[in-house]
Structure 1
Amino acid sequence: MTRYIFRRVFMLIPLVIIVSIAIFLVAHVVPGDPIDAILQPGAPPEMREEMRATYGLDRPLWIQYGIWVWRLLHADMGTAIVQSRSVTGLIAENLPYSLTLGVAALAFSAVMGVIFGMAAATFRDTRLDHVSMTLSMIGATVPTFFLGLIFMLAFAVWLRWFPVSGAGTLRSLVLPVLTVGIGGMALVARVTRVAMVEASQQDFVTLLHAKGMPVWRIQSRYILRIAMIPVITILGLRIGWILGGAVAAEYIFARPGLGTLLIRGLTQRDYPLIQGSLLMLSMAVLLGTFLADILQALVDPRVREAVR
């Protein structure tokens, strides 16, 4: 297992380099100049060039990238041009909110998806199965932004069960978690149902039934463990979607977080802020995928054997 983990870590190194280059280039492709957000209209060209030199924007892109990477190695993401604040400090303030939303949405997707998938597999080809799969198909196809607006209008504006915006209480977390997590829950439910149905048709399961083992024990101890292998894979792949949904949810419900920072950086064309926000979101995706690979290897020894 240790060898497998080291191999996965080694594979991450070139991926991190590629991601950092892509983030840097994407940030600088954004139309406009962040200096325009600082200077007043009609400012003399000399002042504009002086400001560009102050923030190092007059240097070639490859030099700017090298400086950015060097600072990253020293835990420094630079200074936000418009706000004149440390990007590292801004991310440290907003990261806990995004982590809370992302982890809660992922846990909701996993737990509720497995529960609904197990119910559909246990009572397959019944009305419960058909209704569950139909609802899961709808949940997986509705866009996150549209779903968030529906939840806000229904439960915050009309019924007033939850606050419209903010991040100060647990109640303010419910609608964003539902908005981000329902799509993942629907997908996990469908994958769980298919995997459990396939596992229940294997020969050893028939043998366990013949020996008189209780159905609940067969499902919880054997069938569900086999079904967890594709579920873990799906959850690892869903981390990127969840973070993308978190950006939309933070914008809709006016929550602080990395998504809010990213949108602010894009509107202000603030290169350091865009780069820092995208880097943290990308690292979260890579870390989540890495942890999903490790967990899958723990559940299924065949994964470890495949890389030897």
Structure 2
Amino acid sequence: MLLEINNLFFSHTKDKPLFQNLNLRFEANKIIALAGESGCGKSTLLSLIYGLLDWENGEIIFDETRLLGPKGNLVPGEAEMKFVAQNFDLMPYATVAENVGKFISNINLAKKRETVMELLEVVGLQEFANVLPKYLSGGQQQRVAIARALSVLPKLLILDEPFSNLDFPRKIELRERLFRYVKQHRISLIISTHELQDIMPWLDQIVILQEGRLIQNESPENTYRNPYNSYVAKLFGEVNIFNDAEATEFGLSKFSYYPKEIRVSETGFEAEVLESRFAGNYYWNKIKVKNKELVVFTDDKLDGPVTVSFV
């Protein structure tokens, strides 16, 4: 086991604890998403793991070593880990290449230059090698920080919202190259995110937090198909939620249905189409069934009454 969190207790203020008896296990060589709404404790947990915050009780064990936190380390942070937070801490008067190569030995300069350029390719910034950070956008600075963290091939890389400052095309490019690189080099990755849908193909595990409590901890497929509650289901995007009475009225086997799980069919429930809007790969539709409004995705625009069924 690469990382264990046992009975962790942490509080920002004495009267309101955030984590109470939190227990988690992370296996090596996995890509793990830490998800939940803002304020659920994602960033705080990452800071605790990396050793930037002290905890009141419990223990964090990394690679069979019990971590001590800031109280036990003169320099905050843990060996064999790298953490890219939402402030990137780049050297302002060093070039992008110099920032990326900060932790790489100078014994073999040719090898160092080769490694730096390889990492800049991973994050898509080769052409900015000789540029100072102040001339980069926030998203570009974030990518420099990620490349620098990868340079030492840590056992564990921790990323806090790494795609938050990127436009969509860059996000697509970076996420695939990044995830392939960490898998190739057997780097374990914990990534906090608000965008589960965008990175789900590369995930091995999803950990869901709500107000400091562990809500669900399973594979991406199980989490998506069998969300523990409506809070979890809503983290994957638009979803239709049914209370117990509604589920019984519709004869449903679960409380949540994603828009693609409600389909236009020959038999089923009659529905009034309230809106039908083009959304790129699909049409976004608002329909009304038995006085309940639902969102449905279809390949074609809906016009007039339809019949729908739940799958």
Q: TM-score, normalised by structure 2?
A: 0.20
More helix by share: 1
Greater strand share, 1 or 2?
A: 2
Higher relative contact order (CA 8 A, sep 6+): 1
TM-score (norm 1): 0.20
